[in-house]
């Protein structure tokens, strides 16, 4: 499973939910008729998408299995995933042969071999993407995901090498 977003809250009284997608395009999840939802125990359940639309940076979705607000509220905080075999295949010719979700949990090390922390997420800012790294100092570090800063990404070794100081 590849985590592609999470449910933020319910919307309205007919079982709609608000989704924060982790996809390149906000409506990217609408291409998949079946989603998998998981709670914190990684118990996955299948839901069928009936309808959805974009509202700003949020995706609104309606599932066949969710008919009222009470049911929708129970889905709040759940992660949304798509089986990896249903995603478009990545080729080695692309600049990046990994999905963002492959980078979650990856260790970030700078050129001085100092551990900066672990990737907890990525942000899309419009100008460039940003790595969200949680470090030993118990604080979040935001690192621009640009070629001047990101030296090497190695998802197989679970390591990203960056030109970034510990005290930035």
Q: Are 76 and 106 part of one and the same domain?
A: no
The model's confidence at residue 109, banded by pLDDT at 50, 70 and 90, is: very high
Q: Per-residue confidence at 46, pLDDT binned at 50, 70, 90?
A: very high
Q: What is the CATH number of the domain that holds 153?
A: 2.30.30.240
Indicate whether 93 belongs to any domain. Answer: no
Residue 92 has pLDDT above 80, yes or no: no
Among 60, 46, 49, 165, smallest CA distance to 108 is for: 165
What domain range includes position 156? 100-162
pLDDT tens digits, 16-30: 999 998 887 889 999
In sequence order, what are the residues at sequence separation of 6 or more whose Cβ sits closer than 8 angstroms to the Cβ of residue 111? 151, 161, 162, 163
pLDDT recorded at residue 95: 55
Please give the model's pTM, rounded to 2 decimal places.
0.70
Question: What's the total number of domains in the chain?
Answer: 2
| Cα distance between residue 13 and residue 68, in whole Å | 6
């Amino acid at each position: 499973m590849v985590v592609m977003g999470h449910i933020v809250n319910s919307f309205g009284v007919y079982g709609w939910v608000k989704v924060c997608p982790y996809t390149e395009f906000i409506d990217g999840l609408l291409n998949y008729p079946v989603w998998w939802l998981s709670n914190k125990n990684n118990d996955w359940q299948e839901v069928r998408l009936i309808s959805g639309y974009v509202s700003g940076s949020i995706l609104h979705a309606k599932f066949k299995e969710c008919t009222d607000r009470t049911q929708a509220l129970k889905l709040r905080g759940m992660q949304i995933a798509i089986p990896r075999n249903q995603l478009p295949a990545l080729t080695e010719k692309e600049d990046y042969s990994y999905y963002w979700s492959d980078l979650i949990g990856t260790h970030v090390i700078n050129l001085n071999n100092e551990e900066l922390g672990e990737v907890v997420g990525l942000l899309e800012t419009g100008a460039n993407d940003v790595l969200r790294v949680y470090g030993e100092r118990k604080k979040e570090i935001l690192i621009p995901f640009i070629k001047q800063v990101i030296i090497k990404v190695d998802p197989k070794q679970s390591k990203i090498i960056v030109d970034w100081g510990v005290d930035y």
